[in-house]
């Protein structure tokens, strides 16, 4: 008996049958005596269809009008879901972002939630209604509709769970939970019962796109109990918490792969103070996000600086640096987008220095060359050739998760 926020993504509400399935999950929770607030995304391809409609009319439409357009997607899925619940005989009401009090800032298409005026939702819950809220959207101080950008519906759900002091926030999706590696590509990948917020954050950043980072960060900040769970299988999912209750046997929670990586290297830089600052502030000015950075001693009192960016930013980064070749003073730029990042994540890692070594050993034994290394408290990332990436994930996963693995 408590308050549960449940979020359902676009594939979970893609057609009438799936909406009925979602309605069943919601009403079963309600029948067990819980108050339920459900947050829904737009159906399947609705958002893409609306974007295509807009592009046909104006490829440079203002974000304000795009948000006005796109916000209809969730309004449709939510009203349809409410109708499905009505058909099952339960009290229900659907609310848009503005009706549910989701107040955001004014960054159209990528707004941040500022606060939630919960009066209406609480009033409906008091009346014992199931409340269905449109994800991904809110209104700003001008009473204009805003959308939250990527992962927006997850963020809506976590924010509502925080504001309503919900006992649990369940993120229903098309996967069973969080795995030690991508189960579609890695043999022996196992579902985790629990994972910490920090581990989840690293995994999300590393390309395991089960939950968007913004929602995990918010859940961590407000200590919202999260659960990632399948809307199709009916099995228990993965709990995401501040501290995992039952520490997993392994120090490593998961292995992730990110192919959207490109590496640039400035070779033969003069060894002046402030040169790194110069380089990265030039890139920041162009909104190029830099990930791993390595600096090494070159020949003849020069040094080399290597760093990674996303593939789509590589050309821009190159252009910016070449335009400033004179003031930076380097011999040449090397670049490579045929690489991938493979990472292990685990809160137990920091107290166990053998973990990184075990990863490197597994890669070495498989004949996979390591290009660059980066470590943090709960993560070790390596760059490898893109053709080695899948095998690298598998051998690293085998090393930490096979039943006969050493070092666990």
Residue 60, exposed/middle/buried by CB under 10 A (0-12, 13-18, 19+)? Answer: exposed
- Please report how close the Cβ of residue 153 comes to a copy of itself at its closest, in angstroms: 17
Q: Nearest to residue 220, comparing CAs of 172, 158, 171, 163?
A: 158
Give me 211's structure tokens: 């939950």
Number of residues this chain uses to bind a copy of itself (CB under 8 A):
38
CB of residue 58 to a copy of itself, shortest distance in Å: 4
**143 belongs to the binding site for a copy of itself (CB under 8 A):** yes
Q: Distance (Å, rounded) from C-alpha 150 to C-alpha 228?
A: 18
Q: How far is CA 192 from the centre of its chain?
A: 17
| Interacting residues with a copy of itself between 74 and 103 (CB under 8 A) | 75-76, 78-80, 82-84, 86-87, 93-94, 96, 98-99
Min separation Cβ 170 and a copy of itself, Å? 23
Q: Which of residues 25-84 bind a copy of itself (CB under 8 A)?
A: 50, 53-54, 56-58, 60-62, 64-66, 68-69, 71-72, 75-76, 78-80, 82-84
Residue 76 or 290 having the CB closest to a copy of itself = 76
Interatomic CA distance for residues 173 and 211, integer angstroms: 9
| In the complex, least distance from residue 80 CB atom to a copy of itself, rounded to whole angstroms | 5
Check residue 109 for interaction with a copy of itself (CB under 8 A).
no
Query: By CB neighbour count within 10 A (0-12 exposed, 13-18 middle, 19+ buried), where does 392 fall?
Result: buried
CB of 280 to a copy of itself, least distance (A): 36
Closest C-alpha among 51, 223, 178, 71 to residue 135 = 71
Q: How many helices, marked H, and strands, marked E, lie in the chain?
A: 13, 18
Going by C-alpha positions, the residue among 355, 367, 343 that lies closest to residue 405 is 355
Q: Rounded to a whole number, what is the distance in angstroms from the first to the last CA of the chain?
A: 39
Report in angstroms how near the CB of residue 165 gets to a copy of itself at its nearest.
24
- Output the smallest distance, CB 340 to a copy of itself, in A: 38
Q: How far apart are CA 136 and CA 159, in angstroms?
A: 11
- Determine, following the binding rule CB under 8 A, whether residue 308 of this chain makes contact with a copy of itself: no
Nearer to a copy of itself, 94 or 180 (CB): 94
Identify which of residues 99 and 110 has a Cβ nearer to a copy of itself in the complex. 99
Interacting residue ranges for a copy of itself, rule: CB under 8 A: 16, 19-20, 50, 53-54, 56-58, 60-62, 64-66, 68-69, 71-72, 75-76, 78-80, 82-84, 86-87, 93-94, 96, 98-99, 120, 143-145
């Amino acid at each position: 008996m408590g308050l549960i926020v449940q979020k359902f993504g676009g594939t979970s509400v893609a057609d009438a049958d799936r909406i009925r399935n979602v309605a069943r999950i919601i009403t079963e929770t309600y029948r067990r005596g819980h108050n339920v607030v459900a947050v829904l995304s737009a159906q399947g391809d609705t958002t893409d269809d609306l974007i295509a409609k807009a592009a046909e009319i104006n490829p440079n439409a203002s974000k304000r009008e795009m948000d006005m357009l796109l916000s209809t997607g969730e309004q449709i899925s939510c009203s349809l879901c409410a109708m499905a619940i009505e058909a099952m005989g339960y009290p229900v009401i659907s609310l848009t972002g503005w009706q549910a009090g989701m107040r955001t800032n004014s960054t159209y298409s990528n707004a941040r939630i500022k606060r939630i005026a919960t009066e209406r939702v609480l009033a409906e819950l008091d009346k014992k209604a199931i409340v269905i809220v449109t994800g991904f959207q809110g209104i700003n101080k001008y009473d204009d509709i805003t959308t939250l950008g990527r992962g927006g519906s997850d963020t809506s759900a976590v924010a509502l769970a925080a504001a309503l002091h919900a006992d649990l926030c369940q993120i229903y999706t098309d996967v069973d939970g969080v795995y030690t590696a991508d189960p579609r590509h890695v043999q022996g990948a196992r579902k985790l019962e629990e994972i910490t917020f920090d581990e989840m954050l690293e995994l999300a950043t590393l390309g395991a796109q089960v939950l968007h980072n913004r929602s995990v960060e918010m859940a961590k900040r407000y200590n919202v109990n999260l659960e990632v769970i399948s809307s199709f299988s009916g099995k228990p999912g993965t709990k995401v918490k501040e501290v995992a209750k039952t520490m997993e046997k392994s120090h490593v929670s998961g292995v992730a792969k990110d192919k959207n990586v490109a590496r640039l290297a400035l070779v033969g830089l003069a060894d002046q103070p402030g040169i790194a600052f110069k380089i990265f502030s030039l890139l920041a000015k162009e909104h190029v996000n830099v990930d791993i950075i390595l600096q090494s001693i070159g020949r003849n009192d020069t040094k080399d600086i290597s760093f990674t960016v996303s593939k789509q930013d590589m050309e821009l980064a190159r252009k910016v640096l070449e335009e400033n070749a004179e003031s930076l003073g380097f011999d040449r730029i090397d670049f490579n987008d045929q690489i991938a990042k493979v990472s292990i994540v685990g809160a137990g890692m920091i107290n166990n220095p053998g973990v990184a070594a075990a990863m490197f050993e597994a890669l070495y034994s498989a004949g996979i060359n390591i290009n660059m290394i980066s470590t943090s408290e709960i993560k070790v990332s390596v760059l490898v050739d893109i053709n080695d990436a899948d095998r690298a994930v598998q051998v690293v996963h085998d090393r930490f998760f096979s039943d006969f693995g050493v070092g666990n």
